[in-house]
């Protein structure tokens, strides 16, 4: 019997554990529901050996290819060409937009084969004015948008795939672990299982000029500087109140490799002396497996990032999300999965005052918070099953 092979176009960048998480999330779903299908990962250029090793520890049979399809229709290397020839279908993984748009267009043009999309945001990067994205999306066999705002905008923009629906980010399904490193870190940091909460913060715009080979963006830097106190003050106060009103400690940790600097400056260094002994600031970046192994040992998480909360909820750990317009509409997925009470828009001043009370409610009513997280996890699980069923029907 001939094996069905699909190409997973994913693995966008490695400076952010959330961007890394998209890929193992999809791989977990395919392994769970379609174990008979061979999956070849088509990764982006900055995919690293370290991340590849992490994925292969969990998915030992996974084959990874890189490269592009040239104008003449041939891949830039033999491994990618063999994968293209062998494949039946291309699946575009979760992400902030149709990241692999050019690769998908070339795949369809030169192979005549089809594609579908699992869990993207639409509109956050001006796709409404990007004709090529619309053209490619209109040829998809199915598109799952990871937030309802994206879905509605796509409809408004007359995108007309046969199946268009809300489908959660695949990162909810991540189950990577590095328990050895996590337990060592917790022991060295004097953090006990279930006796700490995590806090993550960020700037309005990721300062890629510091962590990737990108030019300095003065406009974005000025916005970051203008808004950093506004955006960090509520989280800082939540840390203070958790420490002063409960027996829990707080772990300040990063989602991308630029965040150790800003969390030190705007959170840890500004905490009162009586609070500091019960707060740990992580000064090193980590990969998705170690981070998730820490998250599942925590009592919960709050902050202004998206994918650490996603990974928490996917593992039944309560998580509060603070968002702003620069992050696109992805945060609204919290409403879509029944966690609207744990979503705060920091561009709406009247919502900001609710952050500290809700964080305190979460940590002082952990049983209720856990139940709410598990209910959201179940909703995501059911939606993921529908997404994979759609893919399965398409392959048949």
Q: What is the 3-class SS of the chain, one letter each residue?
A: CCCCEEEEECCCCCCEHHHHHHHHHHHHHHHHHCCCCEEEEECCCCCCHHHHHHHHHHCCCCEEECCCECCCCCECCHHHHHHHHHCCEEEECCECCCCCHHHHHHHHHHHCCEEEEEEECCCCCCHHHCHHHHHHHCCCCCEEECCHHHHHHHHHCCCCCCCEEECCCHHHHCCCCCHHHHHHHHHHHCCCCCCEEEEECCCCCCCHHHHCCCCCCHHHHHHHHHHHHHHHHHHHHHHHHHHHHCCCEEEECCCECCHHHHHHHHCHHHCCCCCHHHEEECCCCCCHHHHHHHHCCCCEEEECCCHHHHHHHHCCCCEEEEECHHHCCHHHHHHHCCCHHHEEECCCHHHHCCHHHHHHHHHHCHHHHHHHHHHHHHHHHHHHHHHHHHHHHHHC
- pLDDT, position 126: 77
Mean residue pLDDT across the chain: 96
- pLDDT, position 125: 83
User: Cα–Cα distance between 393 and 112 in angstroms, integer?
Assistant: 19
- pLDDT, position 382: 98
Sign for the pseudo-dihedral over CA of 134, 338, 199, 185: negative
User: Cα–Cα distance between 315 and 247 in angstroms, integer?
Assistant: 23
Is residue 182 within 8 A of residue 297, CB to CB? The reply is: yes
| Tens of pLDDT, residues 112-151 | 999 999 999 999 887 777 889 999 999 999 999 999 999 9
**Burial (Cβ within 10 Å: 0-12, 13-18, ≥19) of residue 148:** middle
- pLDDT, position 169: 97
User: Cα–Cα distance between 67 and 103 in angstroms, integer?
Assistant: 10
Q: Looking at residues 308-328, what average pLDDT do you find?
A: 97
Q: Which CATH superfamily is domain 5-173+380-395 in?
A: Glycogen Phosphorylase B; (3.40.50.2000)
Q: Looking at residues 168-177, what average pLDDT do you find?
A: 98
| Tens of pLDDT, residues 189-245 | 999 999 999 999 999 999 999 999 899 999 999 999 999 999 999 999 999 999 999
CATH 3.40.50.10880 fits domain 179-378: no
- pLDDT, position 1: 53
Is residue 144 within 8 A of residue 166, CB to CB? The reply is: yes
Is residue 300 within 8 A of residue 193, CB to CB? The reply is: no
Of 10, 23, 21, nearest to 315 by C-alpha is 21
The yes-or-no verdict on residue 38 having pLDDT over 60 is yes
The overall longest dimension of the chain from CA atoms, in Å, is: 67
Is residue 282 within 8 A of residue 264, CB to CB? The reply is: no
User: Cα–Cα distance between 339 and 335 in angstroms, integer?
Assistant: 5
Return the residue matching tokens 């575009």: 92
| Tens of pLDDT, residues 249-260 | 999 999 999 999
Segments making up each domain of the chain, as ranges: 5-173+380-395, 179-378
């Amino acid at each position: 019997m001939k094996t069905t092979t699909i190409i997973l176009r994913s693995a966008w960048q490695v400076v952010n554990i959330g961007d890394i998480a998209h890929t193992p999330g999809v791989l977990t779903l395919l392994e769970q529901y379609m174990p008979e299908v061979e999956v070849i990962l088509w990764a982006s250029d900055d995919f690293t050996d370290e991340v590849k090793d992490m994925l292969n520890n969990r998915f030992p049979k996974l084959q990874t290819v890189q490269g592009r399809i040239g104008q003449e229709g041939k891949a830039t290397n033999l491994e990618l060409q063999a994968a293209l020839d062998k494949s039946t279908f291309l699946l575009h993984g979760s992400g902030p937009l149709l990241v692999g748009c050019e690769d998908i267009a070339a795949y369809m043009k030169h192979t005549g084969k089809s594609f579908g999309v699992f869990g993207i945001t639409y509109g956050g990067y001006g796709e409404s004015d990007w004709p090529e994205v619309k053209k490619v999306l209109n040829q998809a066999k199915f598109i799952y948008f990871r937030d309802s705002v994206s879905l509605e905008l796509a409809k408004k923009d007359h995108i007309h795939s046969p199946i268009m629906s809300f489908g959660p980010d695949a990162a909810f399904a991540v189950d990577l672990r590095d328990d050895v490193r996590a337990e060592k870190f917790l022991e060295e940091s004097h953090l006990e299982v279930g006796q700490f909460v995590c806090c993550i913060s960020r700037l309005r715009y990721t300062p890629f000029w510091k962590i990737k080979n990108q030019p300095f963006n003065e406009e974005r830097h000025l916005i970051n500087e203008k808004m950093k106190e506004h955006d960090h003050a509520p989280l800082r106060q939540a840390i203070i109140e958790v420490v002063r009103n409960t027996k829990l400690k707080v772990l300040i940790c990063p989602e991308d490799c630029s965040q150790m600097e800003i969390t030190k400056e705007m959170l840890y260094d500004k905490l009162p002396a009586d609070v500091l002994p019960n707060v740990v600031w992580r000064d090193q970046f980590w990969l998705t497996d170690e981070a998730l192994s820490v998250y599942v040992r925590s009592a919960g998480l709050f902050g202004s990032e998206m994918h650490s909360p996603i990974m928490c909820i996917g593992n039944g750990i309560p998580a509060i999300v603070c968002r702003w317009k620069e992050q696109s509409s992805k945060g609204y997925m919290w409403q879509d999965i029944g966690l609207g009470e744990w979503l705060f828009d920091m561009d709406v001043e009247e919502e900001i005052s609710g952050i500290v009370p809700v964080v305190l409610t979460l940590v002082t009513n952990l049983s209720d918070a856990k139940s709410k997280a598990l209910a959201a996890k179940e909703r995501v699980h059911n939606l993921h099953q529908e997404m994979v069923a759609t893919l399965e029907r398409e392959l048949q």
